[in-house]
Structure 1
C-alpha cells in the first residue's frame, strides 16, 4: 500500500474552487503485462569492486574505488558491541561510542568541530549488539584530516578522556534512554530480550544499558574497555569513493601504522536458545490501538538458514502482497497493519510477526487468525510466485543500497559488515546468491524448523503503563534498557533528556589526577605524522551538478531530467501543485486519504495485483504530500522501466476508490491519527501549527496531514474522486526523472504513459491571503502523566517567504540551532546535559515560513530549558552574534559538503523538485559555493535578527503537568494546561 506521508511544513491557504475540474481518467490504451528482467541479469548488476590489505598492527583495510563524485567514505568498524559487556557493565559499548566523539589527545575538541569545517556529510556513529562503528563522507581534499582524526582516536585517545567528559556523556546517554522509554511501547524490548535470551546470555540485555550500570561507570573501567577492545587488530577500515589502492596504502600506513596492537578481542559466543514452553505477556501503555506479536530467537547472519528466514519474513509480512497483508488487512479486515521481520545479528537473530488490531476487533480472535496463517505457512510454505517476488525485491533493494559510497548503508557498510562478521567483504554476494537459489521447499523447511518452536507472544494494549522507568540514580525497575534499533545509538542525532544529578561514583580530584597521570602523554609526532596540528585541507572542487534538461509531453506536462548512472535505477516523480494546503478547511485529511488509496486499486487492477506487479518488477511506488505539493514516486530498475512507468501511470490516472477499499483505508488512517495523538511528537505536530497560523490559513493544520478524525470518518468515495480529479491533473503536474537512462530514451515511455492524459474544467488555485493571528509568547502545556521527559516544541512565523533568498538566514541558524555544534544544542546537551539533542530549524514552505524548536528534555529541567534556549537566542540576536570562528566553520563546511550531498539519484531528484517549488534556476546548487563565500557575519546576523524573535515564540510542552507546571510558572509567560486527547485515564494515570 502506498503510505501517504506529510512532511513538516508550514504555510498555505486554500481557496475552494467553484468549478470542479475533472481530469479524464482514460489511461494508456492498454496496460500490457511486460516481461521483467530475469533475476540472473539483476544479480549480475550487484557488484562492488574492491581490494584489501592489512597493516602489520592488524588493521584490516578495504578499498572500493568509485570516482563518480570527489568524495571518500571513511568507515571504521570495531568488532565489539553490547553482547560483549560483562554483567554490571551494560551500556559501556554505547557510552564509549559517545566518548569517542568528545576529542582525542591531539584534537581535544568535539569531533564535529573539524568535521563540519571540512564539509563532512553522512557523519555519525552507532552501537549495537555486535559492533561499534564510526563513519563520515568527506571531500577527497579533506581525507588526510579525516584519517588523522580517526587514527588519533584509535591510537591517542585516553589522555583526553576525563571525568568531566564521562559525566557529560553519561548524562547524554541517559537522556537518550529516556527518549526511547518515553515512546508508546518503549519499554517492551527490555522484556523481549530478557525473555528470549536467558540470564547470562550475551543478548539478554539491550544495547543502551541500565541506569544503574551507567551510573556506576568509573573512569578506570571505561578506559579499560577501550584498552581491551579498540586496538587496530580488532577493527576494519573501509575507504569507498574517489581513491585508489596505492594512495589508500600510503595514507593509511602514514596515519595508522604506528598504533600498537591491542589485546585480541574475542566476541562473545552465543547459541540460539529455545524456550522450554510458550511465554505470553500482556503490556499496557499510552497507545491507541492493540498490537499482538509473536517472537522467536533464531540463527544469525552467518547461519546457512539466514537467507531462508529472510525470505520467509518477506512472504509472511514484508511484501506489500504478503500473506498477512492480503488476509488480515485486505480480506478479513481484522488488522490495520501487519509486519514480519528477521533481524539478524552476528550470533543470533530475532524473528518477529506483529499485527495491529482494527478498532473493535477482539485481539484474541486476531491472534488466533495470525497463528493460523503462520501455521499454514509452516505447513505449505511459499508459492513459487511469492518467493520469486520476494527475491526480486531483495535484489532490487540491494542494488539501490549500493548507490551511495557511505552513510548508514551504501558500499562502505556493505563491505564492512562482511569483513567484520564473515572475514569476507564479498559476503553480501554470497548471501544474494544463496537467496536467489532458494526453493519454496527450502524456505518452508527452514521456517518450520525455527518457528514451530515455543513462541514468546505479547499483547500491547491501551491503558496504564506496564513497567517502571529507571531513573538516573541506580534505583528503579532494575531492567536493562535501550531501544531495539541501532538508530537509537547515533551519537549526533537530536533526541532526548538530561543526566543524573549525582552519579553512583564520582571520582575525587585526587583520583582524577592519578588516573590522568597514568595515561601516556600526547605525542606531537608519530610515524612521520605531525600531530601538533590538523593536516591542511587540500583543494576541494566546487559542486558539478548534473546537467539538467527540459522537455514537454504532447499534452503540455513539463519534464525535468538529469542523468545519474551509478546503479541501474531510474527515479521518477510526478508532482502536483496541491498538498495539505489544498485540503478543504472543512475536510482536513482528504489529500492524505486520497493518496493512500492510489495503489489500493485502479479501474484495471486490484490492490493485490498492483503490489504483486511492483514486486515482480523490483519497483517501488509511493505517494507523499508536503504542505505545498502532492507527489507519486517510482523507483524502477532500468531494465524494467517501461512496464514500471505503465504501472505508475495507471495508479496516478485511474484510481478506482472502490467502497470496500475506502472503508478499509479509512480505518487505517483513523488508527494512524489515534496513534499520533498518543505520541509526544505527534501531539506537538497536531497542536502547534493551528496556534501559529490560525484556523483560516492553509498551513494552520496538523503538519502530518492525516487530518481531522471526524472528517476522515465521513469522507465518501465521491469526495476522494472529486479531490483527485480537481488537483491530480496534467495541467497541474510536473514530471521529474533522474537515473540510469537518457532523456531521449525516456521521453517515448513517458509519452506512452502520460502523453494522452487530458483534462477539462478550470485549474484550481490556492489562496494565501488569509491573515494569521498575532504572535503570542506563551506556553501550551499538554498533560501527559508519568512522562520521564518533556517534549518542548516551539515556533513563530517569520516575515519571510519560502521563495525568498533564505541562504543567509539558514547559515545563521546553523550557528544558533541548526547543527550539532549550534549554540542551543551545545548548551542543553554538552554543557548542561539536560537533553540528548536540541534543534532549531527553518521549515521551508512556499509561503510564510516558521522558525521551530524541537527539544526533548529531562522532565525536571523543562522550565529551565525554555529559559536557557530563550537566553541563547536573545544573546545571539543582540550582543553575541556570529564569531569569526563560527563563520569560518559554517561557511567552509557548507561549501565543502556540497559535492557529497548529491551522490544518489534520489538526492538529485529532491534538488530538482526543490528548485521547481521555490522558483530557482537549474544552476542554483552550482552557484551556492560562490554565494556562500561572499557571506559576512554582519549579513548573517542581520538576517537572523530580522526574522527570529524569541518574544514571539509559542511553546507547546508535552509532559507531566504535576512536575512541569511549577517550573513553567517561573518563566513569566502565560501557561495554559490541557489534557491529552482521549482523556487522562487513557494517558496512563
Structure 2
C-alpha cells in the first residue's frame, strides 16, 4: 500500500494545494544539481567548440551531493485479484491482465525477453492473442501486450477490447494462450520476424537529434551506460526461444491483477432547449535547408519525386492519393476509413496476418491514413528494405483483398465504435461544434468518421469503386527520400505499379459546401464528468493569400501555440484555473481553406463562466487593445526557422517538405526563401491589421461546453448568449 508507484507523479489535488515556495526551493536544491544530471548534445556539431560552450554555461554551477537514491521495496502480490468497474468508455468492454516483473536495471536480459514476449503475444494481427481471441473465438476486436520497465519493478500488461461486456473468462483465455506459448517451442521464422522488427525500431529511434539524445540519457540514467541501446540490441539478437519461454514461465504464471471495465449505460436524453523573447544562444538567422527533389512521370501517369540522401541508413516512402473523407458518397460515411484499413485487411495474396508477417520480416510497418481531402500510404524502414516496401505498396494500392473475413472483422469493429460514438458526449461536442461552424450537411459535421449503420449500407463493390477512384494513377504522387537516385527509384516504382493502366480520372463527389456560421453557446451534457471542456472556435470564409496565411498561423501561435502563449499564461499561470490551453489557427484544406481557429481548456464546473470570459478577453485583446508584441512574433519566427532548417534532418522530414512543396507550388529553393521572408517580415503593425479580419468578435464565436449541464448552466450567469442550447445523451 505504501509503494510510491501508487502516488501520481504530479500529486493529488490536496498535494498541489499545499505546495509552497519554500518546499519547491528545497526540492530544487536537493535534486537539481550537476551531480544528479545528464547532458546530451546531438547534431552536426564541433565537439571541442561545443565542450567549450558547455563549460562556459555549466561549469560555474556549484556541485552538490546527489540525494540518496530511494529504492522502494517490491513484494510479490499476495494473491490473484480482480476488480470490476464501469466507466464512460466508447466500446462495450475492456479487460486488463497484468503482472509484476523484475527491474530492468537488476535483470536487463529478463526485461528484454519479456519485451519479445509482448511482441509475440500482442503485436498485430499475427500475434497469438489476436489469433485466438479475435480470429478464432471472435470475443474481442483488439488485443495489445506491453512490457513496461521500471528501476525498482516492471509491469507486463495485456489489454483486450471486447465485443461485449467483460467477463472473467477472458482472463482465463489469456492465461491459456500464455500456457500454450510456454509449452510450445517458438517457430524460428516467427521469432526472426519479431527480432527484425524490434531491431529496426531501435535503429529508427536514432533517426532524429531528439531521439538520439533521449536514448543516450536513458541509458546513462538507468544503466550508467550511455550506449546501453547497443547492448540491448545485442541481447535481442542473442536471445533464443527457450530464454523467452523461461521468462514467461517465471513471471507471467504468477498471481496477477485483472481489471474488467465496461461501459456505463447511457442516461436518459435531455431535450434540446433554448437557452517570448529569444533564448540565449539562438542565432539571428537559421539557414533554410529544404530538399527539393527530382521528379519523373511513370508510364502509368503517376508522379515520382525523389530526394537523394547519400549515406542515409533509412528511407521513407509516401504515396498520396485523392480519396479523402470529403469524397465519400452520401450514405456511405465510413467507407474512406475502411479503405484506409488495408494493412488490417490484406492485399495481394496476403491475409492480414501474412501481410503483417511479410512486413515484419522486412522491418516495415505500413500505415494508411485517410484525411479530409486525400489518402496517404506511409512506409519507412532501413535502406535495404526499400524494394520490399515498394512491393508491399504496390499490393496495397493495386491488389486489395476486399470482401475477405479480415474485412468483415474490421468493419464489425468500426461499426461498434461508430455506435458508441453516436452517444458519446465528447463525440457529440465535436459534431455540435462543426455543425455550428460549417453547417449540418458539411462532411465534418454529419459523420465522425463512420455512421453507426455503415455495415448495413456498404457492399464490397462500393468499397472497390471508392478505392480505385482514390488511387487513380493520374492523381497519385510518390514521394521518396533515401540513399537512392532518381533512375533507380523509377525502376523500382515501375515494377511496383506494373499493370496500372493510365486513363482519365472520373469525378468524385465532394461535400464541403459551407453554410452560414451559427454562433452561440452549446452545452453538451455529460453526466458524471468532473470537469468542463470549453472549446471556442471561429471560421474565416474568405480565401487567404500567403501573407494572411502566415499571419493567421502567427496569431494562433500567440494565442495558444505553446506553453507560454497568452491564453495558457492567463488561465494557468495568472489564475491557476487550468493546466493548459490548447489551440491554434490554420487552414482546413491546405491552401484551399477555409481558415479556422480554436481555443480549448479544461476547468472545474464552477469556473466555467469566468474561464469563458477570460478566453474571450484574450482573443479580443489581440484584436483590439493588446496587439502582438515583437517578442511574441520572434518566438513564432524561431519555430518557423527551426522547421525550415530541419527539413533535411531525416528521410521522413524530407518527405514532409516535398508534400508541402506540392501543396504550395514551391518548385524552387527561392520559393522556400520567400516563405521564410514572409515570416521574417511580420511586424506588430501587420498583425494588428490582420487580427481584425482573421480573429473573431465575441458575437461570432462558436462555443461548446462539455460537462454536466446543470452545473454548467449554474456557472454561466451573465455569460450566456441568446441561442444557447443543451444537447442530451443522444444529441
Deviation at 1:874, TM superposition (A): 1.6
Deviation at 1:582, TM superposition (A): 0.6
Alpha-carbon distance in 1 for matches of 2:700, 2:611? 17
What residue is the counterpart of 2:154 in the other structure? Answer: 349
Question: Given the alignment, which residue of 678, 683, 701 partners 1:931?
Answer: 678
Provide the TM-score with structure 2 as the length reference. 0.92
Alpha-carbon displacement from aligned partner over 1:68-94 (angstroms, at most 9, x marks no partner)? xxxxxxxxxxxxxxxxxxxxxxxxxxx
Q: Tell me, yes or no, if the aligned pair for 2:98 and 2:156 is still in contact at 8 Å.
A: yes
Q: Tell me, yes or no, if the aligned pair for 1:324 and 1:373 is still in contact at 8 Å.
A: yes
Q: Does 1:977 align with 2:720?
A: no
Deviation at 1:933, TM superposition (A): 2.1
Alpha-carbon distance in 2 for matches of 1:904, 1:712? 41
Q: Does 1:753 align with 2:496?
A: yes
Provide the TM-score with structure 1 as the length reference. 0.69
1:680-691 mapped onto 2 (5 Å cutoff): 681-691=426-436
Change (3 A) 1:684 1:911: farther
Q: Tell me, yes or no, if the aligned pair for 2:311 and 2:483 is still in contact at 8 Å.
A: yes
Alpha-carbon distance in 1 for matches of 2:386, 2:115? 27
Q: Does 1:205 align with 2:7?
A: yes
Q: Tell me, yes or no, if the aligned pair for 1:969 and 1:975 is still in contact at 8 Å.
A: no
Change (3 A) 1:707 1:536: closer
Deviation at 1:757, TM superposition (A): 0.7
Q: Tell me, yes or no, if the aligned pair for 2:305 and 2:478 is still in contact at 8 Å.
A: yes
SS of the residue 2:536 aligns to: strand
Deviation at 1:681, TM superposition (A): 4.9
1:910-989 mapped onto 2 (5 Å cutoff): 910-923=656-669, 924-950=671-697, 951-973=699-721, 974-981=723-730
Change (3 A) 1:370 1:565: farther
Q: Tell me, yes or no, if the aligned pair for 1:681 and 1:791 is still in contact at 8 Å.
A: no
What residue is the counterpart of 1:401 in the other structure? Answer: 205
What's the C-alpha RMSD, in Å, of the aligned pairs?
2.5
What residue is the counterpart of 1:789 in the other structure? Answer: 531
Change (3 A) 1:802 1:906: farther
Question: Given the alignment, which residue of 744, 752, 770 partners 2:487?
Answer: 744
SS of the residue 2:672 aligns to: coil
Q: Tell me, yes or no, if the aligned pair for 2:147 and 2:154 is still in contact at 8 Å.
A: yes
Q: Tell me, yes or no, if the aligned pair for 1:859 and 1:959 is still in contact at 8 Å.
A: yes
Deviation at 1:747, TM superposition (A): 1.4
Q: Does 1:905 align with 2:651?
A: yes
Q: Does 1:775 align with 2:521?
A: no
SS of the residue 1:550 aligns to: strand
Question: Given the alignment, which residue of 523, 538, 556 partners 2:301?
Answer: 556
Q: Tell me, yes or no, if the aligned pair for 2:646 and 2:653 is still in contact at 8 Å.
A: no
Comparing both chains, which one has the higher relative contact order based on Cα–Cα distances under 8 Å and sequence gaps of 6 or more?
1
What residue is the counterpart of 2:119 in the other structure? Answer: 314
Question: Given the alignment, which residue of 352, 361, 374 partners 2:178?
Answer: 374
Alpha-carbon distance in 2 for matches of 1:833, 1:280? 38
SS of the residue 1:452 aligns to: coil
Change (3 A) 1:872 1:214: closer
Alpha-carbon distance in 2 for matches of 1:670, 1:279? 33
Alpha-carbon displacement from aligned partner over 1:566-610 (angstroms, at most 9, x marks no partner)? 742211111111211011122211100121135412241111110
1:626-645 mapped onto 2 (5 Å cutoff): 626-645=371-390
What residue is the counterpart of 1:697 in the other structure? Answer: 442
Alpha-carbon displacement from aligned partner over 1:935-966 (angstroms, at most 9, x marks no partner)? 22222222222122132221111111121112
What residue is the counterpart of 1:254 in the other structure? Answer: 56
What residue is the counterpart of 2:23 in the other structure? Answer: 221
Alpha-carbon distance in 1 for matches of 2:676, 2:487? 31
Deviation at 1:412, TM superposition (A): 0.4
Deviation at 1:642, TM superposition (A): 0.7
SS of the residue 2:39 aligns to: strand
Q: Tell me, yes or no, if the aligned pair for 2:95 and 2:259 is still in contact at 8 Å.
A: yes
What residue is the counterpart of 2:361 in the other structure? Answer: 616
What residue is the counterpart of 1:853 in the other structure? Answer: 599
Alpha-carbon distance in 1 for matches of 2:657, 2:530? 39
Alpha-carbon distance in 2 for matches of 1:769, 1:678? 25
Deviation at 1:620, TM superposition (A): 1.2
1:820-835 mapped onto 2 (5 Å cutoff): 820-835=563-578
Deviation at 1:876, TM superposition (A): 1.4
SS of the residue 1:618 aligns to: coil
SS of the residue 2:429 aligns to: helix
Deviates more, 1:959-968 or 1:263-272: 263-272
Deviation at 1:404, TM superposition (A): 0.5
Deviation at 1:897, TM superposition (A): 5.0
Change (3 A) 1:356 1:768: closer
Alpha-carbon displacement from aligned partner over 1:292-320 (angstroms, at most 9, x marks no partner)? 11101101322131110100001000244
* Structure 2 unpaired stretches of 5+: 267-275
Change (3 A) 1:586 1:788: same
What residue is the counterpart of 2:271 in the other structure? Answer: none
Deviates more, 1:389-398 or 1:324-333: 324-333
Alpha-carbon displacement from aligned partner over 1:487-519 (angstroms, at most 9, x marks no partner)? xxxxx9xxxxxxxxxxxxxxxxxxxxxxxxxxx
What residue is the counterpart of 1:153 in the other structure? Answer: none
Alpha-carbon distance in 2 for matches of 1:675, 1:350? 30
SS of the residue 1:305 aligns to: helix
Alpha-carbon distance in 2 for matches of 1:681, 1:248? 49
Change (3 A) 1:803 1:937: closer
Deviation at 1:794, TM superposition (A): 2.6
SS of the residue 2:350 aligns to: coil
